[in-house]
Every structure is written in C-alpha cells, then in structure tokens.
Amino acid sequence: MYKSSNLGYPRIGEKREWKRALERYWKGDCSEEELLQETKNLRLKNLQKQKLQGIDLIPVGDFSFYDHVLDTATMFGQVPSRFAYNGGKVPLQTYFQIARGNTTAVAAAMKKWFNTNYHYIVPELGERKPTLTENRPLFFYREAKEALGIEGKPVLLGPLTFIKLAKGYEEDKLEETVASYLPLYAQILKELEAEGVKWIQIDEPYLVTDVTPREWQITQQIYHTLQEAAPKLKVILQTYFDAVTDYETIISLPVAGIGLDFVHDDGQHLASIQQYGFPEDKILAAGIIDGRNVWRTNLEEKWGLLAKIQKAVGSENIIIQPSSSLLHVPVTVKEEQIDPIVKVALSFADEKLQEISTLTEGVRKGKAAIQAQIDQSVEAISKLNASSARNNQILHEELNRASDKPERSENVTIRQQAQQGAFSLPILPTTTIGSFPQTKEVRKERLRWRKGEITNEEYETFIQAEIKKWIEIQEDLGLDVFVHGEFERTDMVEYFGEKLAGFQFTTYGWVQSYGSRCVKPPIIYGDVAYVKPMTVKETVYAQSLTTKPVKGMLTGPITILNWSFVRDDISRAEVAKQIAFSLKKEVEELERNDIRMIQVDEPAIREGLPLKKERWKPYLDTAVYSFKLATTSVEKETQIHTHMCYSNFEDIIDAIDALDVDVISIETSRSHGEFIQTFAKKTYDKGIGLGVYDIHSPRVPTKEEITQNIEHALGVLDPHLFWINPDCGLKTRNEEETIGALEVMVEAAKETREKLVVKNL
C-alpha cells in the first residue's frame, strides 16, 4: 500500500487573501460573517488543489485564523484570566485578543515554532480547568467531506508537544498536567471515530528534541490511552524537523503509523530502520520532500532513498509525504517572473505536492513511468549548479584570505571609555530598535517607484522627507540616540538581498511569520557578494539633520541566512561567511562616512539553534564567527549594537557574550522579563537594553508599566550599562501609537534617571 500524503498547506492564499481578510476584519471593514465566508472559500480552494494533485491523504484542520497552537489552547478553554471569557466556545474576538492584546490586557507571549521562522502563541495553563470547547478536527473533517467529498485526514497538535510549548505548569507535574488533558484528546478521537474518520495525524515535533526518559514514558502512556479510546481510528504519530531521539521506543507505540523526517534528520532515520527494522503492522510515513526549503527535488536521489527505505521496511506500507507542513514555503512558483534557470530549479507548495504524486506514481507503476520527470529535475538542478552565479572565483579567493579569528583591537572596557568620550550619553540612554511606521503613503510611494510611475529622484526626495519628519519627531520626544526610520526598506532581509549579488526575489513568494504578518524571504541561489554601499546615503542624510548620534542599521549575517531560503549545494556555514564578508564592507563604509554607531541586528540567532544540544556548538561557533567577521574591523570609538527577539536567550547567553558587541537590545516584554533572571546568575559587562514595552500590541503602555519593567531590570543590571528601548522595531505600528508609546517610555526613563541621581547624591 503506497499512498501520498501532505502534512499541512499554506493558509495565506496565492495572493495573501487570508491576510487581507483578517486585517479588514480587525479594522472593522468587514463583519465576522464575511471573514468566516472568505476564509472558508480559501480553505476549500486549498483542499481542492490538493485533491487535483492526486494527494491521497489530505490534511484538514491545519487551517488557522492566527496560529495552530493558539487554536489548540482555545479548543481546551485555556484563555488567560485577563481576557473576558465565561466558558463555552471561545469567541473569535477573544481569540484575537489573546494573540494581539487589547486596551487593558497584554497579549500572550509569542515564541518561535521550534527552529523555523514561524511564531506561535504560548499557551498559558493553570488558570482554568481544561475543557473541550469544540471539536475543531471534526468540524473541518465534516466541512471537507460535505463541500468537496474529500475524506480528509484531521490534524491535531499532540498532548506532549502542546504542554511542553506552554507555560503555567510545573515541570515536576508534567505527567499530572498531561493526564488532565488526555480525556479531552480521547473525546476528540472518539467523536472522530464515531464519524467514520479513517486517519488522523497527531503532531508531536517535540519528540525530535532532547526528550528525557521520563517524557518518553509519558508519551507511551498518552498513546496507550488514546488507542484504547478509539481503537479503530488510524493514528499517524507525526514528527518533523529532525530525527527522533529514541527510535526503538517510538516504533513500539500503539499507533497505526509513524511519520519521520528523512530530510532534516542527518541520515539517522534510514540508519535506524536499517539497524532496528520497522514493525510489519505499522505504516511508515516517510517525509522525503523538503517542506522547509524551496528547491526542486532531485528525483533521482529521492528514488534512491526510497529504494533503501523500501528495502529496510520490507513492505509496501509506506506513505510518501513532505518532511513537514508546507506552511513554511510559498504557495506556487507558476506566476513568478524570474530568471528561468532559477525558476525551473524552484519548488513551492504546489510543486512539492506534484513531486510527491510523481514519486508515488513511480513506486506504484515502476521507475519508467516517471523517468521523464526524473530527468527534468536532474537537468534543472545541474544547470543552476554550473551557472556563473555559483562560481564567483574572485569572491572565493577573497574569502580564503579572510581572518579565521576576527577580534576587536581593544577590549570592552577601553571601548566603553572611548565611546562615552565620543557620545557623552546620559545614564539610561533612550533609543529605538530601528524602524518607524510604514504608513500607507510610504508603501504607496514605494509601489509607484517600483512600477516606474515616479523617478528615482522623486522617490529619494520622498524618503528624505520621511526621514526628516521622524528626526524632528525624535528631537521633540527627547530620545538620546536616533535612527533614520528605514522607510526605504520593505523588509529587513529583503532590502539587503536586493543589493547583494546571489539573491533572487519573488513577487508572490510569501510565507506566514506570525498572525497576519507575512514575509517574502529572499532566495539565496548563488554566491553572495558585495556590489556597492547599501545604507550609507540614507544614514548620512539623517545624521546631517541632528547633532544626536544616528545609528547605521544593518541586518546580521545569521539573520539574513535564517530568514532566507538558502541554496543547498554548499554548507550553510559557507553561505553565512559570504554574507558576513559583504556586511564587513558595508560596516567599514559607514564608518568612513562618520557613522559611529552601527547596529547589526541578529534577531534570528536563537531560532536557528539545532533542536538537539549536541549540535549547538558548531552552529553557535558559525554565528559568532560570522558576526565578528562583519563587525570587528572598526575603531574603538565606533559602537557596535545588535538586537535579538523572540528567544529563550538563556540557552545562548555565552554565545551572546562572545559576540563582543558594545550594546545589545533584547525583546523581553512579552515574557515579562523572565530573561532578566539570567543576569542574576551571569555577569554581563556590556551595554544592554531589555525591551520595556511590547510593540506587537496596538495598546499604548502606561508609564507605571514601563517604570516597573525598568526597575525590575535594574535589580540585576548595572544602570551605567542599561539602555531604554522598545522590544522591537516599530514598522507595524501607526504613528499615533508609536509617538504615544515613545513619549511614555522617555518620560519613564527620565524619571528613573532622576531617581538614580538623587539616590547617588
């Protein structure tokens, strides 16, 4: 029995219809009923596309209005007490308030979904007894069957992963917490079984992390309980993003199928099957098509992998599928107008479904039936590998001469003295992270410029007017260190990719980042090389308007790497080195133009951390080396800043220290300053700004809230090293919200500064 399957499909639509519908609803431009109908139409269209592609097991319930982890939490009635909720099905308005906050309540925390670029809303457990408010998988199963005649495969986030991603429970009570949810999971499965559902996909990606023996025991208890609850329901226990930590245990669980990632497992799953075999009474759901990158599959290589899997499994009980949900890639390549050599080597969600169907046809009918498609895939990839874009010999020679151990010429103490002499900043200096609101007018003028409706000179005049306006606003607010606002930038990675060699950009290559926030990751298809200055003109202009220091703003090498779709013919470490070498040239160009504060943002370092600790060191060594290669050639008076967000920073505090950055700003507002406790244990002798308010919520914080956050931080941090800033860039906020929040922030900083002065008299 060979079947094709998918694990999840992009929610956003080919032209981001989902995003636009959500934002119209949030603005009050459409009713809830209109939102529900629009998203239903899109959802059914996505299901129909998968059906037409010949996918046998089509996922249902993978759709979300915001986030699938939040969906799971609200399905179990886990609404934080600060939101008005009295039981029953959670209203859509309340659902969105948990994710976005409201005028009186802060939003729930947001974190990265494992090591991807997607964010999930962190469930807050413990305030309410779990209860089943609705059976979402059943609803979506019925919808697909009634509307399209599709016998769908419901998707459900598994109990262990759901709870391990949450907060509000004590780790020593993990088993007890899991037990409180098991009856609800059992009820969901019973109702699905009674409905006649044949297959269900239960996602447990946590099982590819460093799972403890105790957690494996709990996993065994979970799936024995669920099997007893719905014995006729075929459960596929699905993992992805890496290899499972205990292969022998997972194949012993009482489920019908095991889903394994054969792309990002470093070959471990095939080796485990060859060594330990695979149960004859189970189905192997083999994730052999990369669900996280955009490159066309070499079908010859995958045919060879399938042959090895078939031989090791010893049966035809194999499902062919992507390595993970296709949530992480754009929808389709078909309408992209890009270099043909690159385009033919790309594969987005729809094309990956075709690859799955092709391989499934091959194992059913024989290789000859798909030989033409195999040959086409090999030829497309070979042409790209042979292109001049991937063979820049001048760059390769320059990189061979780059330092193996880049370091600043002076230690941090000497640099701090030199920089204070240069800038004369007050204690608790105030600044922002970099971007200011990207208004409709800004986006409109950029679009007109891209379409050729206005000249380069007209566009530059407009950008300079925006910069001037916000320099004046920063002067009025009383900030100590300014930024130019980044009005010329669509995205912090895309902007740099457009100015470096080796990047390709798409028109419709959007993916969901968080909520309705979609990003269009650049595609690194060739050698990355510096072409010309990228940020100097705008930064120098901004600095000419004020005597306050203006930060040069760059995106760091690891963030560009992690927020791009990266070529897979060379190592990621080599690509990072290429990017860092280009940024080094830009940093030096800024310094030559008297920009003496330069911020190189690395918000994505933590998210790229391998899921197993045994692989952390090589990755972090690459991250530290790349950052230093980009930043350490400057003079001691030049102050290097960086920014990081959405991370469990305590995991990488030593690497953060090793970056040897002069000032780091870190997002901590949504985590309520939990990271601050790390500094109670770890001495950090460089400048640091812990975001004092959450920019992802539209509400303007109170002065008391910000003051409390500042004082909390000063309980463990040296006030002479502490900076006051928002927790992230302000691009997504409107002008009124931005100015209002910054006014409060500056006022809170000044009052705290005065208290410190009085205290030290």
Q: Specify whether the CB–CB gap between 710 and 743 falls below 8 A.
A: no
Continuous H helices in 478-615: 494-497, 536-543, 557-562, 572-592
DSSP state of 346: B
737: left (phi over 0), alpha (psi -120 to 50) or beta: alpha
**Is 415 annotated as a binding-site member?**
no
The string of DSSP codes covering 295-334 is BPP-HHHHHHHHHHHHHHH-SS-EEEEESS-GGGS-S-ST
Strand intervals (E) in 131-282? 153-157, 199-203, 234-238, 257-261
Is 117 annotated as belonging to a binding site?
yes
> Does 30 belong to an annotated binding site?
no
Catalytic residue among 264, 672, 696, 712: 696
Indicate if 696 belongs to the active site. yes
19 annotated to a ligand binding site? yes
Q: Which helix (H) or strand (E) holds 98?
A: helix 92-100
518 appears as a binding residue in the annotation: yes
- Count of CB atoms within 10 A of residue 28's CB? 7
Pairing of strands 500-504, 523-530: antiparallel
Helix (H), strand (E) at residue 699? none
Expressed in angstroms, the distance from the first to the final Cα of the chain is 81
For residue 390, count other CB atoms closer than 10 A to its CB. 15
Tokens 């770890």 correspond to 682
**What's the residue count for the chain?**
761
Pull the structure tokens for residue 166.
């949450």
Q: Annotation-wise, does 242 bind a ligand?
A: no
Tell me if 669 is assigned to a ligand binding site. Answer: no
What is the spatial distance between Cα 757 and Cα 761, in angstroms, rounded to a whole number? 6
Torsion over CA: 315, 320, 321, 322 (sign)? positive
498 assigned to a ligand binding site: no
Please choose, from the candidates 640, 76, 751, 54, the residue with its C-alpha nearest in 3D space to the C-alpha of residue 365. Answer: 54
Cα(333)–Cα(430) distance, rounded to whole angstroms? Answer: 45
**Three-class HEC string of 466-481:** HHHHHHHHHHHHCCCC
The set of residues, in sequence order, having a beta carbon less than 8 Å from that of 396 and lying 6+ positions away, is 527
Q: How far apart are CA 586 and CA 609, in angstroms?
A: 26
**Contact of 575 with 561, CB cutoff 8 Å:** yes
> What are the distances in angstroms from CA 637 to CA 64, 451, 684, 695?
49, 42, 20, 31
563 is an annotated ligand-binding site residue? yes
Residue 601 assigned as binding residue = yes
Q: Which two tokens stand for residue 604?
A: 């994505």
Looking at this protein, which amino acid is placed at residue 440?
K
704 is in an annotated binding site: no
Query: Which residue from 338, 344, 354, 297 is spatially nearest to 508, judged by alpha carbons?
Result: 338
Could you give the C-alpha distances from 1 to 113, 284, 303, 318, in angstroms and in order?
33, 11, 17, 7
Contacts of 173 (CB under 8 A, 6+ apart): none
Closest-CA residue to 4 (of 358, 507, 342): 358
Backbone torsions φ then ψ of 716, nearest 5 degrees? -130, -10
- Detail the residues annotated as belonging to a binding site: 16-19, 112, 117, 433-435, 486, 517-518, 563, 601, 607, 643, 645, 667, 728
- Detail the residues annotated as belonging to a binding site for Zn(2+): 643, 645, 667, 728
- Detail the residues annotated as belonging to a binding site for L-homocysteine: 433-435, 486, 601
Q: Which residues belong to the active site?
A: 696
- Detail the residues annotated as belonging to a binding site for L-methionine: 433-435, 486, 601
